[in-house]
């Protein structure tokens, strides 16, 4: 069940726990009104009425038996939460207005002054801001480490460590963190492990199965998958979602709009198909570019020469749809390629049906100092390619033409 005990007065369709993910993505979490609509209903409402003053009192007291206010919960949002929960295999889920709202709430909702956070330094720029800048303002200590180094995790985790946070694979250099090993280290001191799983998607990696406590997604990326709206979601135990996260979201207000939830529900229906095709195309492109004279290095989780290939085999079920390319000529070479692409668009988003490319050093990670980017392997010639649903032959043709 979702973290919301509030349920609308609708019939809920049967869900078979033995269904494959592709089936759950189409039918999971559906609730129908008395009209028995096939497409999920969009409840564009702020509030809900009560049959009596006594019912209103009881609902506010227990938050059970129905909805109260759409900042707290909404029927369309609840369907999105439930469908994603079924896919992830979590006990509960709560949706948010954006991916960063999900990350911030997951990290901050359970922390207080005097607590300590350990995070892998290979993070999206806004995630690093939360760890490096925001946490210390509230008296929360933070330590950034090389997430690939288990000894670094062991040294950094302290008695007052409450959260260990990381992306795997990381943005944009596709480094992996051993979820099971870090979870064991964190749990030894009672810390929670929060994993940003956006690059792998739930189709390729299930962090909870490896011991993680909480998983976060920017639903803006692959879950929507067509560049339409913002959204995020946090998944974990009923205790964490209901007792720690729900009050935080309820009172701070980063709620997902019902319209965006409806769009994301439509995105989930095709998630498996899109990820499968994108992975296939990404593997083809990575192989074709591996020996190109103007490409210094190709980083792809599906490539046999990835330095963490053994961990990838244990932890992931595919290589993903993101490729990092180190282009000859540094920034000038990278910009020349980007400016000569005709089909692939320059954008800092990813997970779209359209193939997108960005230069991390001047966009997503520009706020980092040059030495910090160098430490992460984000050179001036590095570009991040998010492979879409176009024909792989057309994509490689566009890249090779841009390089030549």
Q: What is the pLDDT of residues 48-94, one digit of tens each?
A: 999 999 999 998 888 777 899 999 999 999 999 999 999 999 999 99
User: Are 11 and 31 spatial neighbours (Cβ–Cβ below 8 Å)?
Assistant: yes
Q: Are strands 322-327 and 214-218 parallel, antiparallel or unpaired?
A: unpaired
User: Are 209 and 180 spatial neighbours (Cβ–Cβ below 8 Å)?
Assistant: no
Q: What six digits make up the tokens of 108?
A: 């901050």
Q: What six digits make up the tokens of 257?
A: 């709009």
**pLDDT in the model for residue 12:** 53
**pLDDT in the model for residue 15:** 67
| All domains of the chain in start order, with CATH | 11-269 (3.40.640.10), 271-403 (3.90.1150.10)
The span from the CA of 338 to the CA of 384, in Å, is 11
Q: Are strands 161-167 and 141-145 parallel, antiparallel or unpaired?
A: unpaired
The span from the CA of 376 to the CA of 171, in Å, is 10
The span from the CA of 262 to the CA of 31, in Å, is 12
Torsion angle, alpha carbons of 97, 101, 107, 110, to 10: -50
Beta bridge partners of 346: 357
Any alpha helices (H) in 271-389, and if so which ranges? 271-289, 309-315, 330-340, 370-376
The span from the CA of 311 to the CA of 288, in Å, is 24
**pLDDT in the model for residue 315:** 97
**pLDDT in the model for residue 61:** 86
Q: What six digits make up the tokens of 163?
A: 């959260």
**pLDDT in the model for residue 2:** 43
Give me the residues of the chain with pLDDT under 50, please. Answer: 1-11
Q: What six digits make up the tokens of 209?
A: 């199965």
The span from the CA of 73 to the CA of 256, in Å, is 9
Q: Is 254 helix (H, G, I), strand (E, B) or coil?
A: coil
Give which of 224, 210, 216 is closest to 195, Cα–Cα: 216
Give which of 142, 119, 141, 134 is closest to 194, Cα–Cα: 119
């Amino acid at each position: 069940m979702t973290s919301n005990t509030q349920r609308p007065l609708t019939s809920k369709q049967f869900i078979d726990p033995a269904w494959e993910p592709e089936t759950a993505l189409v039918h999971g979490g559906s609730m129908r009104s008395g009209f028995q609509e096939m497409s999920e209903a969009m409840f564009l409402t702020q509030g809900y009425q009560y049959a009596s003053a006594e019912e209103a009192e009881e609902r506010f007291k227990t938050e059970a038996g129905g909805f109260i206010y759409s900042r707290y919960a909404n029927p369309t949002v609840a369907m999105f939460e439930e469908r994603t929960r079924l896919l992830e295999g979590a006990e509960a889920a709560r949706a948010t207005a954006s991916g960063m709202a999900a990350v911030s709430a997951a990290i901050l909702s359970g922390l207080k002054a005097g607590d300590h956070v350990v995070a892998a330094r290979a993070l999206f720029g806004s995630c690093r801001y939360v760890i490096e800048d925001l946490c210390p303002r509230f008296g929360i200590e933070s330590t950034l480490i090389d997430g690939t180094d288990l000894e670094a995790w062991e040294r950094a985790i302290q008695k007052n460590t409450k959260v260990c946070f990381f992306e795997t694979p990381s943005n944009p250099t596709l480094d992996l963190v051993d979820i099971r090993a870090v979870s064991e280290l964190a749990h030894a001191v009672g810390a929670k492990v929060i994993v940003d799983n956006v690059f792998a998607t739930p189709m390729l990696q299930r962090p909870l199965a490896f011991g993680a406590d909480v998983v976060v997604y920017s639903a803006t990326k692959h879950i929507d998958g067509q560049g339409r709206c913002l959204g995020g979601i946090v998944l974990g135990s009923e205790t964490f979602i209901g007792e720690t996260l729900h009050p935080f979201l309820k009172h701070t207000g980063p709620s997902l709009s019902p319209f965006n939830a409806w769009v994301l529900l439509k995105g989930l229906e095709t998630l498996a198909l899109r990820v499968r095709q994108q992975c296939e195309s990404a593997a083809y492109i990575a192989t074709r570019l591996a020996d190109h004279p103007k490409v210094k290095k190709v980083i792809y989780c599906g490539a046999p020469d990835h330095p963490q290939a053994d961990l990838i085999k244990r932890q992931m079920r595919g290589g993903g749809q993101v490729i990092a390319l180190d282009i000859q000529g540094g920034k000038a070479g990278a910009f020349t390629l980007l400016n000569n692409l005709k089909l692939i668009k320059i954008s800092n988003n990813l997970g779209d049906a359209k193939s997108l490319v960005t230069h991390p050093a001047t966009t997503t990670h520009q706020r980092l100092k040059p030495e910090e980017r160098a430490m992460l392997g984000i050179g001036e010639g590095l570009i991040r390619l998010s492979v879409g649903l176009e024909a792989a032959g057309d994509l490689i043709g566009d890249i090779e033409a841009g390089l030549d």
